[in-house]
Structures are given as C-alpha cells and as structure tokens.
Structure 1
Amino acid sequence: MILLSFDIEEFDMPFEYGKSLPFDEQLAISTQGTVAILDLLKQAGIKATFYCTANYAKHKTDIIARIVDEGHELASHGYFHSEFIPEHLASSKRVLEEIADLPVKGYRMARMMPVDEREIYKAGYKYNSSINPTWLPGRYNNFSRPRKWFWQDGVLQIPSSVSPILRFPLFWLSFHNLPMFILTWLCDITHRKDGYLNLYFHPWEFTDLDKPEKYGFPGYVTRTTGEDFIERMRYFINWALERDYRFVRTGDFAADIIQKSRK
C-alpha cells in the first residue's frame, strides 16, 4: 500500500534562500498547487493525507472543505510553518478540527524537524510522521532511527520511506531528480521489503518554481516542477495502480496498527 501525503503550508521556502514573498502570494501559490493535486487525485480515484498548518487553513477554509468533502484525511502540520512552540501542537489540532468538523489524528513537524513525542501524546495525536530516517547534509542525521513504523512514548511513528539498502530517501526531491525507471525500481524494492510506502510532497512543487530571481532555488529544487511534475505524479500513480498497489490514508493505516496492537 502507498501512503501518499502532502504538506500544505504558507509558501515560505524562499525565505531559506534569502527571498521573501507577500503572505497573500504565499497562500496563492500553495492553493494553486493544492487544487492541482486534488484534481489529480480525483481523476485517479485515490485518497491521500493532507498535513496542513492552522495558519493556512484559517485563510483557506474552502480548500479544507474540498479536502474533507472528497474523502481525504486532514492532519496537522503545526500552527505556522516557520514558527513553533509546544502549545502549537494542541492549538493547531483544535483549529483544524473546528474548521473541518472532524477529529485530527496525525501530525507532521515542519521540515521534518525533531519534536518531543511526549508533547505529541499530550496534545492527543495518535500518530506522528515527522521522521525521515536517513542523512541529509545540513538538515538531519537519522540513521539510528528505525526505517519502518514503531512506537515511541505512546505515539505511533510512521517514518518517511527510504530504501532498504543505503537508506536512499524516497521523498519529494527524489521524485524531481531521479529518472522514473530508477525511482519506480527503488519504490518497488522498498514496498516489497516493508509492505508499504510513506511518501510526502508539497503543493508548491506542482507550480512553476523555475524563477531564480523570485525564489532563489537551486536547480535540484526547480527541476520538473509545475506541469512537468503533475505529469510525473500521474505516471507514478498509474504505475502503482497497474501493480495493484492500494493508496491508503495514513490515518487508516495507523488505525489498523493501533487496533491490532490492542488485541
């Protein structure tokens, strides 16, 4: 099975490269990408999980309504994307639940940064998907963390998928830069080893990022974005469906594990 997920946030990534965007434009870019994703998922007839910041959700309640109405899962991505205090764990959950009128069970920390699992538990989350169990220069070193799901401090941990050998990350940058035959081969061997894939992306990847003066992104970020990435994701989804891989919301995957652990 494949746990397909998208981190919906105010588009603040240019800040990391010395650029800035007005808040309204941050929202517009994330919304453009989210609409493209929802259209793609609807065409394919599959469901996914959307980790959303409360800040985005408060300004784009219509997008949240569409996510929920079309059967996708809404989970928390914190209150703000570039600001965090422990109190945001509970407050972001509360805001999302008020807007969606549904329980929010999952959490993903912005930029996959460390977060206190005891605070996650206290805030009422059932699962956390904030670990990329590999090494990325300047970002994190998680070679000591398990590759597959595990329990910590009462919270089910669902790390992002990495290959069994060398722990090559199967995340958004890989989908932009690897030839599809290599990417699908890595996904296939990882799925056969682990029984599932946990993949994450961002809405702004589905917009044109090749604007160096505006965003300042390096080539490995801007490669195959916008329409090219929509087609690349369509190819991947069709590849997976042809192999009878099921697309499952992360919360449903977590609920099955939690139920079995209680028997």
Structure 2
Amino acid sequence: MHDPGPITNALTIDVEDYFQVSAFAPYIKRSEWDSRECRVERNVDRILALLDDRGVRATFFTLGWIAERYPAMVRRIVDGGHELASHGYGHERASDLSEADFFNDVHRAKALLEDIGGMLVLGYRAPSFSIGSANMWALDTLLRAGYRYSSSIYPIRHDHYGMPDAPRFSHQIRQGLIEIPPTTLRIFNHNLPSSGGGYFRLLPYSLSHWMLRHVNTQDHSPAVFYFHPWEIDVRQPRIQGISLRTRFRHYVNIGRMEKRLGLLLQDFCWGRMDHVFLPRHAPEVSLV
C-alpha cells in the first residue's frame, strides 16, 4: 500500500499589531492607533525569514489597516510565495457590526489587499473568531463579498468567542463557501483548543505537539495553527492599567514563542490554507 507521507497542516499568521488586540480595546482607543509605536513590520519580516529558512509557505490573514500603512511588507509576503488573506479592515469583531457595516469592512479589506498584493484574496478570518450561532448571516455576507473560505468559527467554549457544537473539520458551510475551523482535540465529549495562540504559549510544547500529532494520526486530518506577529516580540510596549487576566493572556511565555515555533516548523509539515484545504473541496470551490 502506498504511504502518502506526513499530512500537510496549515500555518496561519494573523497580521495585527499589539495595540489592536481585542482584549486591549477597553484600554486603547481606536483613535490612538496612529500615535502608537507600530512594530508589526519588523516582526513580520522576522517571521518571513524564519519560514524561508525552513522552506515553509503560510497564509497571512492581514488587516487592511496594516496593509494600507505597510504595502511593501504585504508585497514581501506575496513575493515569498505565501497566501495573502483577509483579517478584515479595522479589527472589529463581526459580532459587533451590523450586516451592512460588516460587508463594508470585509469588502474594503479584500479590495485593498488585492490591489496591494496583486493576487486574488480567497480567505477571511474574523477578529477574535467572532462568527458564531448569533451571527451566521456573516457567512452569506462573506460569500457576497467574494470570499471562498472562512476560518472564523472556533468550535470551543470560551469567554469571548466560540461555538462548541460547530463541526471540528473543514466543511462546506454555504454553497461556494468553506469553513475551516481552528484545530481542536476531542476528549471526553469536549473540544480542547489545539491550534496555537495563547494556549500554545501557555501549555508545554510536548503537549501541543501531542495534540497536533493526534489530529494528524487519529483523526487523519490536517491541523490549522495560528499565531500573531506580536507573540514573538518581547520588547513590545507594555500596556498599563489592564486586568491581571488580560496581562497574563497576552504576555505569558512570549520569550519562549520563537523557539517553540522553530520546533513546530521542524516537527510537522506545513503549507498554505488554500493549498491544504481548497483542493479537498474542489467540486465546490474554484481557484479561478
């Protein structure tokens, strides 16, 4: 029997800066963004170098706000062979927007990214995974805006987001639209987050490795892993006045993140979201 080899997982980066994190919204006004020290470009360049050293291609879910200010960085992402995808324009949660405002946000971001990057933008990830049971209309809006896949519904229970009863693996959620959830591990009738972010920094690397390997070998499915450029930036400005929970979630083990990413790239096979998942749904999705 032919051995197909290791499963290729999807590596994704949510391109936003430290001051745009949703948990900081009560402490940093949107009107202050332009006056803050922006560190995203140097962090993305470090990530690009890390990926290039290991021959890995990834998907960069990029804010329109960032792309507008750093177009050369966006072009470096595309020139590196990576997929350019949308994180919306202004990092506003889909659950906080009206249908009209959400359409304007995702349509504006897609048009801007395509103009700067010179490539078709097929994918979208909602800030803070903010599509769920209360705003499933957002999926129809994404389809109307021209997207072909979303990675916005996290099938876990969380205090800020999540839809624990949602499917764990990629599926056609609308005719012409694929939903590709962040990876979870099913244990004792509960879904455990296994796809990166703060959990990857908090948990021992060996446990994260085991969970991803289990999804590959037992569920026979590719995993989706995500992180942010600010998660490798130990010198980012510390936000004052934030709650202890927010401080812990944002800063825990940031100093260990880059080394862990190196191990992750070494221990698993990685690729772009469109290359990993869209061919699996070829009858429903066209790349042209």
TM-score by length of 2: 0.81
Q: Paired residue for 1:40, among 22, 44, 50?
A: 50
The answer as to whether partners of 2:87 and 2:124 remain within 8 angstroms in 1 is: yes
**Other-structure match for 2:166:** 145
- C-alpha distance in 1, partners of 2:82/2:45? 13
Per the alignment, residue 150 of structure 2 pairs with 128
Query: Kindly tell me: are residues 26 and 185 of structure 1, through their superposed partners in 2, closer, same or farther at Cα, counting changes over 3 Å?
Result: farther
1:233 counterpart = 2:261:
yes
Distance 1:211 1:70, change over 3 A: closer
Q: Are 2:174 and 1:158 aligned?
A: no
Shift of 1:107: 0.6
Q: How far does the alpha carbon of each residue in 1:186-232 deviate from its partner, in whole angstroms, 9 at most, with x for none?
A: 11111221420011111111112786554734223212214x21111
* Number of aligned residue pairs: 256
Distance 2:40 2:228 in 1: 8
Q: 1:223 to 1:127 in 2, by over 3 A?
A: same
Aligned residue in 2 for 1:174: 199
CA distance in 1, matches of 2:236, 2:68: 29
- Corresponding residue SS for 1:89: helix
Match of 1:203 in 2: 229
Matched, 1:111 2:119: no
- Quick check: 1:164–1:190 contact (8 Å CA) kept in 2? no
SS at match of 1:4: strand
Secondary structure of the structure 2 residue equivalent to 1:130: coil
Residue 84 (structure 2) aligns with: 74
1: CA distance between counterparts of 2:278 and 2:34?
Answer: 36
CA–CA distance in 2 between the matches of 1:71 and 1:144?
35
1:60 matched to 2:73? The reply is no
Corresponding position: 1:188 with 2:213: yes
Secondary structure of 2:226's match?
A: strand
8 Å Cα contact 1:209/1:215 also seen in 2: no
For residues 48 and 26 of structure 1, the distance between their equivalents in structure 2, rounded to whole angstroms, comes to 28
Q: Which residue among 40, 55, 60 is the counterpart of 1:30?
A: 40
Alignment correspondent of 1:3: 10
Post-superposition Cα deviations, 1:47-84, rounded to whole Å, max 9, x if no partner, equal 00000111110100111011000000000111111375
Amino acid paired to 2:165: S
Task: Give 1:233 shift.
Answer: 0.6
Runs of 5+ consecutive residues of structure 2 not aligned to the other structure = 1-7
1:102-159 alpha-carbon deviations (Å, 9 max, x no partner): 110101111110151111111111100101111112x124111000011112210000
3-state SS in 1 of match to 2:249? helix
Specify every segment of 5 or more residues in structure 1 that has no aligned partner in the other structure, as ranges: 241-245
Match of residue 243 from structure 1: none
Name the CA distance, whole Å, in 1 between partners of 2:29 and 2:233.
17
Distance 1:177 1:209, change over 3 A: farther
Q: CA deviation at 1:8?
A: 0.8
Q: What is the alpha-carbon distance in structure 1 between the residues aligned to residue 241 and residue 71 of structure 2?
A: 26
RMSD of the alignment, in Å? Answer: 2.3
Q: Is the 8 A contact 1:53 1:92 kept in 2?
A: yes
